[in-house]
Amino acid sequence: MIYITLILCFISSILLTPLVKKLAFKIGATDKPNQRKVHQKIMPRLGGLAIYLSFIIGFLIFQPEGPYALPIILGSLIIVFTGILDDIYELSAKIKFIAQIIAAAIVVVWGGVHVEFINLPFGGQITFGYLSIPLTIIWIVGITNAINLIDGLDGLAAGVSSIALITISGMAIIMGDGFVTAMASLVLASTLGFLIYNFHPAKIFMGDTGALFLGFMISVLSLLGFKNVTLISFIVPIIILGVPISDTFFAIIRRIVNKKPLSAPDKSHLHHCLLRLGFTHRQTVLIIYAMAAFFGLMAIIFSQAKLLGGFFLILVLLILIELIAEAIGLVSKNYRPLIKMMRVLLISTVRNR
Protein backbone atom coordinates (compact mmCIF):
# COMPACT_ATOMS: atom_id res chain seq x y z
CA MET A 1 0.00 0.00 0.00
CA ILE A 2 2.81 2.43 0.88
CA TYR A 3 4.47 2.00 -2.54
CA ILE A 4 1.23 2.80 -4.37
CA THR A 5 0.72 5.83 -2.13
CA LEU A 6 4.24 7.08 -2.83
CA ILE A 7 3.66 6.78 -6.58
CA LEU A 8 0.40 8.72 -6.19
CA CYS A 9 2.23 11.44 -4.22
CA PHE A 10 4.85 11.68 -6.95
CA ILE A 11 2.28 11.86 -9.75
CA SER A 12 0.11 14.30 -7.79
CA SER A 13 3.08 16.62 -7.39
CA ILE A 14 3.82 16.45 -11.13
CA LEU A 15 0.18 17.25 -11.98
CA LEU A 16 -0.36 19.93 -9.33
CA THR A 17 2.82 21.95 -9.92
CA PRO A 18 1.72 23.46 -13.30
CA LEU A 19 -1.63 24.41 -11.73
CA VAL A 20 0.13 26.04 -8.78
CA LYS A 21 2.37 27.88 -11.25
CA LYS A 22 -0.69 29.45 -12.91
CA LEU A 23 -2.14 30.29 -9.49
CA ALA A 24 1.12 31.97 -8.44
CA PHE A 25 1.03 34.36 -11.40
CA LYS A 26 -2.65 35.03 -10.84
CA ILE A 27 -2.33 36.02 -7.17
CA GLY A 28 1.03 37.75 -7.49
CA ALA A 29 3.20 35.17 -5.73
CA THR A 30 6.22 35.95 -7.90
CA ASP A 31 9.92 36.53 -7.34
CA LYS A 32 11.39 39.57 -9.11
CA PRO A 33 15.12 39.59 -9.95
CA ASN A 34 17.47 41.89 -8.01
CA GLN A 35 21.19 42.18 -7.27
CA ARG A 36 21.00 39.45 -4.60
CA LYS A 37 19.07 36.97 -6.78
CA VAL A 38 20.60 34.65 -9.37
CA HIS A 39 17.61 34.46 -11.75
CA GLN A 40 17.09 37.13 -14.43
CA LYS A 41 13.31 37.07 -14.93
CA ILE A 42 10.10 37.09 -12.89
CA MET A 43 9.46 33.60 -11.49
CA PRO A 44 6.43 32.04 -9.76
CA ARG A 45 7.33 31.07 -6.19
CA LEU A 46 4.42 29.15 -4.72
CA GLY A 47 5.71 25.70 -5.71
CA GLY A 48 5.80 24.46 -2.13
CA LEU A 49 2.01 24.37 -2.18
CA ALA A 50 2.17 21.52 -4.73
CA ILE A 51 4.56 19.63 -2.45
CA TYR A 52 2.30 20.14 0.56
CA LEU A 53 -0.95 19.18 -1.23
CA SER A 54 0.69 16.04 -2.64
CA PHE A 55 1.92 15.12 0.83
CA ILE A 56 -1.57 15.64 2.31
CA ILE A 57 -3.08 13.43 -0.43
CA GLY A 58 -0.63 10.68 0.47
CA PHE A 59 -1.20 11.19 4.20
CA LEU A 60 -5.00 10.88 3.83
CA ILE A 61 -4.65 7.74 1.69
CA PHE A 62 -2.07 5.90 3.80
CA GLN A 63 -2.98 7.43 7.19
CA PRO A 64 0.27 6.75 9.10
CA GLU A 65 -0.55 5.72 12.65
CA GLY A 66 1.17 7.51 15.50
CA PRO A 67 0.50 9.91 18.37
CA TYR A 68 2.43 12.66 16.60
CA ALA A 69 0.45 12.66 13.34
CA LEU A 70 -2.18 15.29 14.17
CA PRO A 71 0.21 17.78 15.85
CA ILE A 72 2.60 17.52 12.89
CA ILE A 73 -0.20 18.09 10.37
CA LEU A 74 -1.55 21.08 12.31
CA GLY A 75 1.93 22.56 12.74
CA SER A 76 2.73 22.09 9.05
CA LEU A 77 -0.57 23.76 8.11
CA ILE A 78 0.43 26.88 10.05
CA ILE A 79 3.86 26.81 8.41
CA VAL A 80 2.43 26.45 4.89
CA PHE A 81 -0.18 29.17 5.45
CA THR A 82 2.61 31.49 6.64
CA GLY A 83 4.69 30.58 3.59
CA ILE A 84 1.82 31.32 1.21
CA LEU A 85 1.27 34.74 2.76
CA ASP A 86 5.00 35.46 2.59
CA ASP A 87 5.21 34.40 -1.07
CA ILE A 88 2.40 36.85 -1.87
CA TYR A 89 2.98 39.76 0.51
CA GLU A 90 6.57 39.25 1.80
CA LEU A 91 5.90 39.14 5.53
CA SER A 92 8.32 40.61 8.04
CA ALA A 93 10.88 38.31 9.66
CA LYS A 94 9.18 38.89 13.04
CA ILE A 95 5.79 37.60 11.87
CA LYS A 96 7.33 34.52 10.23
CA PHE A 97 9.36 33.82 13.37
CA ILE A 98 6.26 33.99 15.59
CA ALA A 99 4.36 31.63 13.26
CA GLN A 100 7.28 29.17 13.32
CA ILE A 101 7.39 29.22 17.12
CA ILE A 102 3.62 28.54 17.29
CA ALA A 103 3.93 25.63 14.83
CA ALA A 104 6.91 24.20 16.72
CA ALA A 105 5.16 24.63 20.07
CA ILE A 106 2.16 22.63 18.83
CA VAL A 107 4.42 19.69 17.99
CA VAL A 108 6.54 20.00 21.13
CA VAL A 109 3.95 20.87 23.79
CA TRP A 110 0.83 19.15 22.43
CA GLY A 111 2.60 16.37 20.52
CA GLY A 112 5.18 15.73 23.23
CA VAL A 113 8.13 15.72 20.82
CA HIS A 114 11.04 16.75 23.01
CA VAL A 115 14.17 15.22 24.51
CA GLU A 116 14.25 15.42 28.32
CA PHE A 117 17.73 14.01 28.96
CA ILE A 118 20.75 12.46 27.25
CA ASN A 119 22.84 9.59 28.59
CA LEU A 120 26.56 10.36 28.30
CA PRO A 121 28.89 7.69 26.86
CA PHE A 122 31.19 7.64 29.91
CA GLY A 123 28.36 7.48 32.42
CA GLY A 124 26.00 10.05 33.86
CA GLN A 125 23.48 12.12 31.95
CA ILE A 126 22.54 15.63 30.95
CA THR A 127 19.03 16.49 32.14
CA PHE A 128 17.37 19.40 30.35
CA GLY A 129 14.46 19.83 32.75
CA TYR A 130 12.49 22.98 31.98
CA LEU A 131 14.85 23.70 29.05
CA SER A 132 13.67 20.58 27.22
CA ILE A 133 10.72 22.29 25.52
CA PRO A 134 12.44 25.59 24.54
CA LEU A 135 15.53 23.75 23.25
CA THR A 136 13.39 21.52 21.05
CA ILE A 137 11.48 24.53 19.73
CA ILE A 138 14.81 26.22 18.93
CA TRP A 139 15.91 23.10 17.02
CA ILE A 140 12.71 23.03 14.93
CA VAL A 141 12.76 26.77 14.17
CA GLY A 142 16.50 26.68 13.47
CA ILE A 143 16.35 23.83 10.95
CA THR A 144 13.20 25.30 9.36
CA ASN A 145 15.13 28.49 8.63
CA ALA A 146 18.32 26.63 7.65
CA ILE A 147 16.53 24.95 4.74
CA ASN A 148 15.07 28.33 3.78
CA LEU A 149 18.55 29.91 3.73
CA ILE A 150 19.95 27.42 1.20
CA ASP A 151 17.00 27.96 -1.16
CA GLY A 152 19.06 30.16 -3.47
CA LEU A 153 19.52 28.13 -6.66
CA ASP A 154 17.27 26.07 -8.90
CA GLY A 155 16.61 22.70 -7.28
CA LEU A 156 19.02 23.29 -4.39
CA ALA A 157 16.68 23.21 -1.37
CA ALA A 158 14.48 20.51 -2.92
CA GLY A 159 17.47 18.29 -3.70
CA VAL A 160 19.24 18.73 -0.37
CA SER A 161 15.94 18.14 1.45
CA SER A 162 15.33 14.99 -0.60
CA ILE A 163 18.75 13.62 0.33
CA ALA A 164 18.08 14.35 4.01
CA LEU A 165 14.66 12.66 3.76
CA ILE A 166 16.20 9.60 2.07
CA THR A 167 18.69 9.33 4.95
CA ILE A 168 16.02 9.82 7.62
CA SER A 169 13.62 7.29 6.06
CA GLY A 170 16.47 4.79 5.46
CA MET A 171 17.62 4.96 9.06
CA ALA A 172 14.02 4.80 10.29
CA ILE A 173 13.62 1.54 8.33
CA ILE A 174 16.76 0.17 10.04
CA MET A 175 15.36 1.19 13.44
CA GLY A 176 11.91 -0.23 12.66
CA ASP A 177 10.13 3.12 13.01
CA GLY A 178 7.18 2.77 10.62
CA PHE A 179 5.67 6.20 11.33
CA VAL A 180 8.82 8.21 10.56
CA THR A 181 9.51 6.00 7.51
CA ALA A 182 6.04 6.66 6.10
CA MET A 183 6.00 10.40 6.81
CA ALA A 184 9.50 11.02 5.46
CA SER A 185 8.78 8.91 2.36
CA LEU A 186 5.54 10.79 1.62
CA VAL A 187 7.32 14.15 1.82
CA LEU A 188 10.19 12.75 -0.29
CA ALA A 189 7.92 11.49 -3.09
CA SER A 190 6.07 14.82 -3.19
CA THR A 191 9.35 16.77 -3.31
CA LEU A 192 10.82 14.64 -6.10
CA GLY A 193 7.75 15.26 -8.27
CA PHE A 194 8.19 19.01 -7.80
CA LEU A 195 11.96 18.78 -8.46
CA ILE A 196 11.21 17.89 -12.10
CA TYR A 197 10.02 21.49 -12.58
CA ASN A 198 12.46 23.06 -10.12
CA PHE A 199 15.82 21.69 -11.31
CA HIS A 200 17.89 24.07 -13.43
CA PRO A 201 16.56 25.78 -15.45
CA ALA A 202 13.63 26.06 -13.03
CA LYS A 203 10.10 26.72 -14.24
CA ILE A 204 8.88 27.49 -10.71
CA PHE A 205 10.39 28.18 -7.27
CA MET A 206 9.17 26.46 -4.10
CA GLY A 207 9.18 29.81 -2.28
CA ASP A 208 8.89 30.10 1.48
CA THR A 209 5.83 27.85 1.25
CA GLY A 210 8.05 24.95 0.27
CA ALA A 211 11.28 25.81 2.05
CA LEU A 212 9.58 26.38 5.41
CA PHE A 213 7.42 23.25 5.03
CA LEU A 214 10.39 21.03 4.14
CA GLY A 215 12.50 22.53 6.92
CA PHE A 216 9.72 22.03 9.45
CA MET A 217 9.06 18.42 8.45
CA ILE A 218 12.75 17.50 8.32
CA SER A 219 13.42 19.07 11.73
CA VAL A 220 10.51 17.21 13.36
CA LEU A 221 11.07 13.85 11.64
CA SER A 222 14.82 13.87 12.32
CA LEU A 223 14.06 14.49 15.98
CA LEU A 224 11.40 11.75 16.05
CA GLY A 225 13.58 9.27 14.20
CA PHE A 226 16.32 9.57 16.79
CA LYS A 227 14.22 10.48 19.85
CA ASN A 228 16.36 8.32 22.01
CA VAL A 229 18.37 9.21 25.07
CA THR A 230 21.96 8.60 23.91
CA LEU A 231 24.47 11.20 22.79
CA ILE A 232 24.92 9.30 19.51
CA SER A 233 21.22 9.56 18.61
CA PHE A 234 21.33 13.29 19.43
CA ILE A 235 24.24 13.92 17.04
CA VAL A 236 22.95 11.84 14.08
CA PRO A 237 20.32 14.37 12.87
CA ILE A 238 22.92 17.15 13.13
CA ILE A 239 25.20 15.22 10.75
CA ILE A 240 22.32 14.44 8.37
CA LEU A 241 21.62 18.18 8.08
CA GLY A 242 25.31 19.07 7.88
CA VAL A 243 25.00 21.26 4.76
CA PRO A 244 22.18 23.60 5.87
CA ILE A 245 23.42 23.71 9.48
CA SER A 246 27.00 24.56 8.40
CA ASP A 247 25.80 27.20 5.95
CA THR A 248 23.59 28.77 8.64
CA PHE A 249 26.38 28.63 11.25
CA PHE A 250 28.89 30.41 9.01
CA ALA A 251 26.23 32.91 7.93
CA ILE A 252 25.79 33.85 11.61
CA ILE A 253 29.58 34.11 12.10
CA ARG A 254 29.89 36.18 8.91
CA ARG A 255 27.24 38.64 10.02
CA ILE A 256 28.74 38.97 13.51
CA VAL A 257 32.20 39.60 12.01
CA ASN A 258 30.78 42.16 9.57
CA LYS A 259 28.59 43.69 12.32
CA LYS A 260 25.36 43.13 10.42
CA PRO A 261 21.93 42.00 11.75
CA LEU A 262 21.49 38.21 11.80
CA SER A 263 18.43 38.56 9.55
CA ALA A 264 20.30 40.67 6.96
CA PRO A 265 20.45 38.97 3.52
CA ASP A 266 23.76 38.65 1.66
CA LYS A 267 25.41 36.90 -1.28
CA SER A 268 27.99 34.88 0.64
CA HIS A 269 26.16 31.62 1.26
CA LEU A 270 27.68 28.32 0.18
CA HIS A 271 26.12 28.40 -3.29
CA HIS A 272 27.16 32.04 -3.84
CA CYS A 273 30.78 31.20 -2.95
CA LEU A 274 30.87 28.24 -5.35
CA LEU A 275 29.43 30.38 -8.15
CA ARG A 276 32.13 33.01 -7.55
CA LEU A 277 34.77 30.29 -7.87
CA GLY A 278 33.61 29.77 -11.46
CA PHE A 279 31.28 26.78 -11.17
CA THR A 280 28.14 26.88 -13.29
CA HIS A 281 24.65 26.98 -11.79
CA ARG A 282 24.12 23.26 -12.39
CA GLN A 283 27.62 22.28 -11.23
CA THR A 284 27.17 24.23 -7.99
CA VAL A 285 23.89 22.48 -7.24
CA LEU A 286 25.38 19.04 -7.98
CA ILE A 287 28.42 19.77 -5.78
CA ILE A 288 26.14 20.67 -2.86
CA TYR A 289 24.04 17.55 -3.56
CA ALA A 290 27.26 15.53 -3.26
CA MET A 291 28.06 17.26 0.04
CA ALA A 292 24.59 16.50 1.38
CA ALA A 293 24.89 12.85 0.29
CA PHE A 294 28.32 12.65 1.97
CA PHE A 295 26.85 13.92 5.26
CA GLY A 296 24.00 11.44 4.92
CA LEU A 297 26.46 8.58 4.48
CA MET A 298 28.55 9.80 7.42
CA ALA A 299 25.41 9.89 9.59
CA ILE A 300 24.70 6.25 8.79
CA ILE A 301 28.32 5.25 9.50
CA PHE A 302 28.33 7.28 12.72
CA SER A 303 25.14 5.60 13.95
CA GLN A 304 26.83 2.20 13.60
CA ALA A 305 30.26 3.24 14.90
CA LYS A 306 31.68 2.53 18.33
CA LEU A 307 32.40 5.37 20.74
CA LEU A 308 35.99 6.22 19.78
CA GLY A 309 35.26 5.74 16.10
CA GLY A 310 32.29 8.09 16.39
CA PHE A 311 34.34 10.82 18.07
CA PHE A 312 37.08 10.47 15.45
CA LEU A 313 34.48 10.78 12.67
CA ILE A 314 33.05 13.96 14.24
CA LEU A 315 36.56 15.45 14.51
CA VAL A 316 37.30 14.70 10.85
CA LEU A 317 33.96 16.19 9.76
CA LEU A 318 34.53 19.39 11.76
CA ILE A 319 38.02 19.85 10.30
CA LEU A 320 36.70 19.17 6.78
CA ILE A 321 33.84 21.68 7.20
CA GLU A 322 36.26 24.34 8.45
CA LEU A 323 38.71 23.72 5.58
CA ILE A 324 35.96 24.00 2.96
CA ALA A 325 34.58 27.16 4.60
CA GLU A 326 38.02 28.77 4.56
CA ALA A 327 38.87 27.60 1.03
CA ILE A 328 35.73 29.04 -0.57
CA GLY A 329 35.54 32.17 1.61
CA LEU A 330 32.35 31.33 3.46
CA VAL A 331 33.14 33.81 6.25
CA SER A 332 35.43 36.17 4.33
CA LYS A 333 38.31 36.01 1.85
CA ASN A 334 40.84 36.69 4.61
CA TYR A 335 39.40 34.19 7.12
CA ARG A 336 41.80 31.21 6.83
CA PRO A 337 43.18 30.37 10.30
CA LEU A 338 43.32 26.58 9.83
CA ILE A 339 44.80 26.79 6.33
CA LYS A 340 47.44 29.27 7.53
CA MET A 341 48.28 27.04 10.50
CA MET A 342 48.64 24.02 8.21
CA ARG A 343 50.93 26.00 5.90
CA VAL A 344 53.12 27.04 8.85
CA LEU A 345 53.34 23.43 10.06
CA LEU A 346 54.14 22.22 6.54
CA ILE A 347 56.90 24.82 6.06
CA SER A 348 58.29 24.02 9.51
CA THR A 349 58.32 20.30 8.74
CA VAL A 350 60.11 20.82 5.41
CA ARG A 351 62.76 23.06 7.01
CA ASN A 352 63.46 20.54 9.79
CA ARG A 353 64.20 17.73 7.34
Residues tagged in the binding site annotation for Mg(2+): 148, 208
Which residues neighbour 166 within 8 Å (Cβ) at sequence distance 6 or greater?
A: 188, 296
Residues 97, 89: Cα–Cα separation, whole Å: 16
SS3 of 155-166: CHHHHHHHHHHH
Q: What is the DSSP string of 206-257?
A: -HHHHHHHHHHHHHHHHHHHT-SSBHHHHHHHHHHTHHHHHHHHHHHHHHHH
Binding-site members are 148, 208
Helix and strand numbers (H, E) in the chain are 14, 4
Strand (E) or helix (H) holding 114: none
Which residues, 6+ apart, have CB-to-CB distance to 180 below 8 Å? 168, 169, 172, 221, 224, 225
Helix (H) or strand (E) holding 43: strand 43-44
Sequence length of the chain is: 353
User: Is the bond into 201 cis (omega within 30 degrees of 0)?
Assistant: yes
Distance CA 64, CA 16 (A): 23
User: Is 260 strand, coil or helix?
Assistant: coil
